Amino acid sequence: MIAPNLVRNVADEGVIGHEKIKDFALQVENAALAVAMREPRPQAGALLEELAALLRDPVSGERVLAHEGGFVLADSGRAVPMTDGIPSLFAPNDASFQGDVTELVKSFYEETPFPNYDGFDSRTSLSNKARRGVFAALLDEQLPEGSLVLEAGCGTGQLSNFLGMSWRRRVIAGDMCLNSLRLAKGFADQHEIRNVAFLQFNLFRPPFQDNSFDLVISNGVLHHTGDCEGGFRSILAKLKPGGHIIIGLYNSQGRLPTLWKRALFRALGPKLYFLDPRLRDWGSQPERVKAWFMDQYRHPHETKHSMDEVLGWFERYGVDFVNGIPHLDGSNFSTNEGLFAKRSAGSKLSRFMTEFNMLASGGADGGLFIMIGRKR
């Protein structure tokens, strides 16, 4: 990386004051990065050491340095706690946080990490499952080469492990639940997935320098916090201008079938579990199905949101709408479409009808909708 830096410095100093030189330096740097990313890393987790310059202590804001297989804070020299090879830069919310549910939700997921890895005994089986989900497959195909990705609330890291199998990107994935992270890192270590790193953090106090990532993903997470909009704002700060943010949330209408089933299950018990297609499979993959049951029907805290509400956040915090699943204008989602190609946000009526269709079609995937935006 010395050569591109040298060229850029020369241009920065005005010795050769020309934009073309800077472009050239960027191209050389990207090429060098691509080569470096193809080199196998000695072990899963080494990626975080490479990216230590992005890390910040969530309380003091100190820089974090890689040191003897671990991390230390640059000013105080304090060691970052490590558990089973997972660094913890977790800090709780301030006492002033109204309606904080972090500890409640954290203990729920420590007890029942989601989703479970039952049945995924290889890279191929995880990859096959991710591809069946279409969204993950499109992401894998369409993420620009060299992207630096943050997944906030990665749970057991199935999406991040899938994306981290490719040398074409680097993924940092974090969650507040250590048991989930152990499963995530265990899978990465066992299957030698090198382009992903896991750490413990609180998404309200993300331990990274601002404007660092090309893509920030948080799927099925913010609706389990005490302040969904505040969580969105907090992770958005870590996205570079021009980068994309992808959030998945329970929809106010699409979630209703799950809530009705929840009430029925409580009243009439397991004999009605057949109403949920995933619960019918209970016998063959008990741990995975249990994780789904707990997450959908026994969760201590969830909120519901609308497409209009998220468009309001986009507007307030400088994000342009790009795409949504389902489409906001009511058109069909195609399995080979451009995830990052700008689409219409539709009208108030088309959005209402799209959400109503989520309800009418039985609330697949627990009534989750995905919104993709680009930071200005």
Least Å from the CB of residue 9 to ligand SAM: 38
The dihedral built from the CA positions of residue 172, 212, 251 and 222, taken in this order, carries a sign that is: positive
CB-wise, 202 or 323, nearer to ligand SAM? Answer: 202
SS3 assignment for 24-42:
HHHHHHHHHHHHHHHCCCC
**Region from 26-34, 36-44, 140-148, 200-208 binding ligand SAM, contact rule CB under 6 A:** 200-208
CB-wise, 25 or 249, nearer to ligand SAM? Answer: 249
C-alpha distances (whole Å) from 363 to each of 262, 277, 351 are: 13, 12, 16
> Is the peptide bond preceding residue 115 cis, with omega within 30 degrees of 0?
yes
d(Cα 374, Cα 376) in Å, to the nearest integer? 6
CB 91 within 8 A of CB 100: no
Say how many residues touch ligand SAM, by CB under 6 A.
22
The answer to the question of residue 227 lying near ligand SAM (CB under 6 A) is no
The answer to the question of residue 116 lying near ligand SAM (CB under 6 A) is no
What residues between 162 and 181 interact with ligand SAM by CB under 6 A? 175-177, 180
The answer to the question of residue 295 lying near ligand SAM (CB under 6 A) is yes
The answer to the question of residue 325 lying near ligand SAM (CB under 6 A) is no
Task: Give which of 237, 71, 223, 213 is closest to 153, Cα–Cα.
Answer: 223
**Region from 11-19, 67-75, 101-109, 274-282 binding ligand SAM, contact rule CB under 6 A:** 101-109
**Region from 44-52, 72-80, 109-117, 359-367 binding ligand SAM, contact rule CB under 6 A:** 109-117
Residue 368, number of CB atoms within 10 A of its CB? 19
CB-wise, 47 or 177, nearer to ligand SAM? Answer: 177
The answer to the question of residue 296 lying near ligand SAM (CB under 6 A) is no
Which residues touch 360 (CB under 8 Å, ≥6 apart)?
A: none
CB 247 within 8 A of CB 218: yes
Least Å from the CB of residue 37 to ligand SAM: 24
**Region from 7-15, 67-75, 152-160, 333-341 binding ligand SAM, contact rule CB under 6 A:** 152-160
The answer to the question of residue 366 lying near ligand SAM (CB under 6 A) is no
Residue 53, number of CB atoms within 10 A of its CB? 12
Give residue 188's identity as a one-letter amino acid code. A
Residue 274, number of CB atoms within 10 A of its CB? 10
**Region from 64-72, 107-115, 182-190, 238-246 binding ligand SAM, contact rule CB under 6 A:** 107-115
The answer to the question of residue 115 lying near ligand SAM (CB under 6 A) is yes
Least Å from the CB of residue 272 to ligand SAM: 23
Per-residue exposure over 287-302, b if at least 16 CB sit within 10 Å of its own CB, e if not: ebbbbbbbbbbebeeb
Binder among 88, 112, 202, 252 for ligand SAM (CB under 6 A): 202
Least Å from the CB of residue 303 to ligand SAM: 12
The answer to the question of residue 198 lying near ligand SAM (CB under 6 A) is no
d(Cα 89, Cα 73) in Å, to the nearest integer? 11
Residues that bind ligand SAM (CB under 6 A): 102, 105, 109, 114-115, 153-155, 158, 175-177, 180, 202-204, 219-221, 224-225, 295
